[in-house]
Amino acid sequence: MAIVPETDLIQPVSDPAALEQRIAALLGEMTLQEKIGQLALVPAAGGGMPDHLRDALREGRIGSVLNEVHVDTVNELQRIAVEESRLGIPLLVGRDVVHGFKTVFPIPLGQAASWNPDLIALGARIAALEAAAAGINWTFAPMVDIGRDPRWGRVAECLGEDPYLAGVLAAAMVRGFQGDDLTQPGSIAACAKHFAGYGASESGRDYNTTSIPDHELRNVHLPPFKAAVDAGVASLMTSFSDLNGVPATGNAMLLTDILRGEWQYDGFVVSDWESVRQLAVHGLTPDDRESAYEAANAGCDVEMTSTTYADHLPSLVEEGRISQQQLDAMVANVLRAKFRLGLFDDPFTDPARCPAALNPEHLQAAHTAAVESVVLLKNDHGLLPLARGGLQTLAVIGPLADDPYEQLGTWIFDGVPEASRTALPAIRNLAGDQATVHHVRALETTRSRDRSGFAEAVALAERSDAVILFLGEEAILSGEAHCRADIGLPGAQEELIEAVAATGKPIVLVVMAGRPLALERVVGKVQALLYAWHPGTMGGPAIAELLFGVASPSGKLPVTLPRVTGQIPIYYAHKQTGKPATPASFIYIDNIEPRAPQVSVGNTSFHLDAGYTPLYPFGFGLSYAAFEYGNIRTSSPVMKLDGAITISADVTNTSDREGEEVVQLYVRDLVGSVTRPVRELKGFEKVRLGPGERRTVGFALVASDLAFYGRAMRLGAEPGRFHAWIGGSSEADLQTEFLLAAAHTS
C-alpha cells in the first residue's frame, strides 16, 4: 500500500495525566452553552456553508459534523471553529465509511468470510486513508452486532454470527482505521456500533425490539464490543433498539454500569440518528426534555442530528437534575478524543499527505479481499475451475454479471461505480480466444418477474458448453431498513434456474447478495456454487480468476446458510436441548425434496418439513485443493485453571495444487452452571499448503478462553470435561477431550 509522507505535526500530549490536566483546563474556560455545543453532532450542508451553520460554529454550539466530504468545505468548517469561535475547539467530522471510501471492499459480511484479520485491517486502513483525504476524521464503523437472523438487512454490515470471530475481526478493523497513532495522516477515529444487541431485532425487522436474556447478552452480544474497546476504539454508538424494555440510548446498565464501570472505557458514546429524540417514540419518556435527561443520565455523550440536548440540557443542569460534574464528564470524553486525534495541533486537511484514492495498490488490496471473501459451497465432479482449453462456448446469464453499481453493495455513499470492474469483461479477458463468451441478462433486475428474456437465455445455454449464472440480490435489498421476510432468491430467479437447468448443461451459480440466502430449492439444480456476497470494486476480476482457477477459493462462511427461511434463527452454537435432533429427524411434507425416508422419528427438536441441519454450516467452504485432518492431540490431558493447554492437529494438502485452508478450533463445555453451546469457536488460522505438504497447527488455550457468565452472572471458567475439534468447519469430526481442573489439582 502507499506510504504516507512524513509530517512535522506537533505531537499532542501523550502523558495521560497531562492530557487530563489539559482537558480540565479547557473545561474551566467553557460556558454552559459551549459545553453543550461539544455534545451536538449535526449534518453538514453537503458542500455548502449556510449562515446558520457559520453562526453556530462561531458561537461554539457545534462539536461535530457529519456527511461532509468536500475537503475545502471541511477545512472552512474547521477554520471557523478554530479561528472564529471563542475557544477555538476543532470539529469531529464523521461519515459512514463502512467497507471502503472510493475504493470499495466487499461488504463486511463478505470480508468476514476471508477469516483474514490482517487483510481486513488493511481494508480499513485504505478506507481511512481515502476518507481522511476528504477531511473525515471519524467513521461510524465497525458494525460488530452479532447477526443470527439473515432477514435483517443490516446483517450485510456485520462480521457474522460468532462472537469470537466477530471480536477478532472487529479489533482488526479498529487497528486499520486508527493505526498506531491517531495523530498521523490517514488515521481516523473508529466507532463500534450498535451498542448493544441490535442484531437480535425481533423478526429480523430493523429498529425492532430486542429481548435478550442476560446470559446471552453477556456471552454472545457483548464480547465483540469488548474486543473493540480492548483494541482502543475511540467511540461507540448506541443501538436504535429497545433492549429488554429500555432503549439502548437511555440504558444506564449498558452505557454506565458495563461500559464505564466494568470496562473502564474512556472514549465517547454517540447516539444513532435521532435515537435520543426517539426515546419518547419508544414510550420510555413523555417528551424531548425527558429524553435528553434519560440519555445523558444513562451515559450517552453526543447526540446525533436531533437537538434535545441543545434544547433542554441547559435547564436540566440549572435545575440540578444533570450535575455539572456529569456534564463535564460527557464533554471531557469528547475533548479527549479530539486531543488524541491531534486536532488541537493540526485541524486542517492536506490531501497531499494521503495517497490518491483508487490507486493501483488500493485496487490490488480490494482485489485480494474479493478473492478471499468468495466461498465455494458446491463443486460436483470438479466442474470448477473451468478449463479454458476445454470450452468452446460459455454462456454468462443473469442481471448481476455486468452491473458495476450492484456489485458494490450497501453503504457505498462515496463509492465510484465507474471504477467498478465487473465479471463479464473479466471472464471474456481470461477466456481469451480459447472460448467464445456470450451474455444475456434474462431478467432486468433480481426482483423482476418478467420471463420474456428466458427464451433467449435457454437458447444461449443450449448452444454453450457451460453456463455461469450471476444471480442474487441487488444492493438495495440489504442494508439499513432493507429487511426481508422471505430470503429465497427474489423475483423469477428460481424459475430462470429451472429453465436453464432443463437444458442439461453444467451450471455454475455465482450468488451476489448482502445476506445468506435460502437456496434449498435451487442448489440441487446447479453443479457448482460460488457465494460472492457483494464483492466491491474489484469483484469481477476476482470472480473470474476463481472461475478459471487462476486463484483457488479459500473463503469460509461467517454465518450459517439456512435451507429455508422458516429455519431462522439457525446458527452453529446452539444449545443441546433435552431432546436433541438426530440425523433421522425429517419427514417429507411438501415442496422440499426428501432427504430421508418417511419414518417415525420420535420427539426431538426439528422441523417436520426442513429437518434441523442447515444447507451449509458456519465455517464451511471448499477449495480446489483438498485438505485432510488427522492426529489431533492435547499437550496435556489436564489443564489447570492457572495453566494452559495446546490442542494440535496435522493438516495435509492431499491434492496436486496449492491452496489455503482456514483451520478452526471448536470446544464444548460439557457441563456448566448454565447450559452451554454444542460448540464454540476458540481459534482459527489461515494456512497455505503446497501439494502434498503437511503442517501441524496448534492452538493455545488458557482458562480465560473458556470463561463465560454462569448462573451467578460472574465471568469465569468452570472446571470439568471439554470436547475439542479441529477441522475445516463447525462440523469438524476430528475430536479430542481434556479436563479443566482446579489450580491446586496435581
Q: What span, in angstroms and rounded, lies between the C-alpha atoms of 728 and 725?
A: 10
* DSSP run (H or E) holding 74: helix 71-79
Q: What span, in angstroms and rounded, lies between the C-alpha atoms of 732 and 681?
A: 11
Helix axes 423-431, 539-547, angle to 10 degrees: 40
Q: What span, in angstroms and rounded, lies between the C-alpha atoms of 27 and 682?
A: 45
Q: Sign of the CA dihedral 486, 489, 491, 497? A: negative
What does the CA dihedral 570, 574, 578, 582 come to, rounded to 10 degrees?
Answer: 60
Pull the grid cell for residue 280: 419518547
Q: What span, in angstroms and rounded, lies between the C-alpha atoms of 693 and 651?
A: 8
Distances in Å between the Cα of 550 and the Cα atoms of 208, 224, 543, 544 are: 44, 35, 10, 8
For Cα atoms 679, 680, 683, give the angle at the middle one, nearest 5 degrees.
130
DSSP 562: P
Q: Could you tell me which residues are beta bridge partners of residue 496?
A: none
Active site includes 272? yes
Q: What span, in angstroms and rounded, lies between the C-alpha atoms of 160 and 620?
A: 13
Catalytic residue among 96, 149, 272, 403: 272
Amino acid at 670: L
Within 10 angstroms of residue 733's Cβ, the number of other Cβ atoms is 8
DSSP string over 111-142: HHTT--HHHHHHHHHHHHHHHHTTT--EE---
Q: Quick check: 703 and 740 in contact, CB under 8 A?
A: yes
Distances in Å between the Cα of 576 and the Cα atoms of 572, 605, 620, 711 are: 11, 9, 21, 17
Contacts of 25 (CB under 8 A, 6+ apart): none
What does the CA dihedral 28, 30, 35, 41 come to, rounded to 10 degrees?
Answer: -120
Distances in Å between the Cα of 713 and the Cα atoms of 418, 617, 710 are: 53, 30, 5
Beta-strand pair 638-640/735-741: parallel
Q: Which of 156, 193, 199, 202 is nearest to 478 (CA)?
A: 156
Pull the grid cell for residue 519: 437456496
Distances in Å between the Cα of 184 and the Cα atoms of 81, 211, 235, 644, 647 are: 21, 42, 18, 39, 40
Residue pointed to by grid coordinates 463509492:
415
Q: Which of 135, 224, 137, 226 is nearest to 178 (CA)?
A: 137
Q: Supply the residues annotated as catalytic.
A: 272
